[in-house]
A and B are shown apart, each in its own frame.
Chain A
Amino acid sequence: MNGAASGLMEALALALPGTDWDQIPYGGTSWFKYGGGGIAAWGSLCGVPNGCCAVLNLINLTSHTNSVMGYYCETSFPTSAVCDLYNQDPAGWVAAGLQVPIPDDQVLAHTIARSPLCHVSISKWCDAAGVNLTDVGPTGIPVKNDRCGKICADMAAFTAQLINGVAYGYVIPDATADCMVCHNASSPPGTPAQQGKMDCAYCHDGDAVIIAAKHPGTSGGGGPK
């Protein structure tokens, strides 16, 4: 959370000197350090979109938070963008004290989380990459950290684009929309009502304990995995 929020806040402070941004701490004393690991390692909302949305809230652009959540869920991460930036000036990158990224062609996996949860996002990537959270890669740091750092940078950059006026339209996937025909804010008890836009099928499938055996149909949930 801190990485994405601080990156955006430092950029805004640099762009708008002499404004209230001078009063807002970023980096080591950031207000947004609590969200890392989905808050206290609970694996709830990933800190990256949380930090991006926090900054959008500071500048009264909460209308863009839906786009942040959607982009996080449906983008194949990590992208090559950090590596591309590094490759423009490797010596300058190192001289600035920045962590060297793992080259994109050596990244072990690129995955689409289809969930805003840190728990789902990390587990899905670790499974695809064949690693755990502490396995170290060629740059001397855990490959998971290289992956999450790149997502942090990618999402902060995406949020910067939103701030700059670039539009992004998120559409709820058809399978989830189908579920919401019955499971919505006004559903009766037993259906039940629900709050959310998260991909239903990722958890509510035939193998998940969350789905009730009494649910109509074969395995419930539906939709592709």
Chain B
Amino acid sequence: MPEGKLISRRNFLKGGAGVVGAGALAAGFGAGSLLQPGRAHAALGYLPYTAIDVDLVRKLAWKHYFQSGG
């Protein structure tokens, strides 16, 4: 990012975003807050695995290569 475009967090909060942020803080991140995520997600860790059909994988990889890109 060009140096002229850099903005400190302090200055950012002094601007319009600071108003939104302060308002949200005053509302205690209540319903409708711009800072509230739309949906809560459980943290995904490593995914489970099990033995899989080798020929099925071969066929699915071939399918995806041509149908959704290599």
Contact = CB atoms under 8 A, between A and B. Distances in A.
Interface of A: 1-4, 6-8, 10-12, 14-16, 19-21, 23-24, 26-28, 30, 33, 36-37, 47-48, 58-61, 81-82, 85, 96-99, 101, 141, 145, 148-150, 152-157, 159-161, 163-165
A6 B62 CA distance: 10
A107 to B, nearest CB: 15
Interface stretch (B1-9, B16-24, B29-37, B50-58): B50-58
Interface residues of B, number: 26
B14 interface: no
A199 to B, nearest CB: 24
B4 to A, nearest CB: 28
A7 B64 contact: yes
Given A6-B61, A99-B62, A15 B68 contact: no
B50 to A, nearest CB: 5
B69 A36 contact: yes
Contacts of A145: 66, 70
11 contacts: A2-B69, A11-B53, A20-B48, A58-B46, A59-B46, A85-B55, A97-B63, A153-B62, A160-B57, A160-B58, A164-B54
Contact of A58 (B47, B57, B67): B47
A14 B56 CA distance: 10
A61 B47 CA distance: 10
A36 B48 CA distance: 26
A1 B52 contact: no
A66 B49 CA distance: 19
B59 interface: yes
B44 interface: yes
B49 to A, nearest CB: 4
Which of B53, B55, B64 counts the most A-chain CB atoms under 10 A from its CB?
B64
Contacts of B53: 11, 15, 160
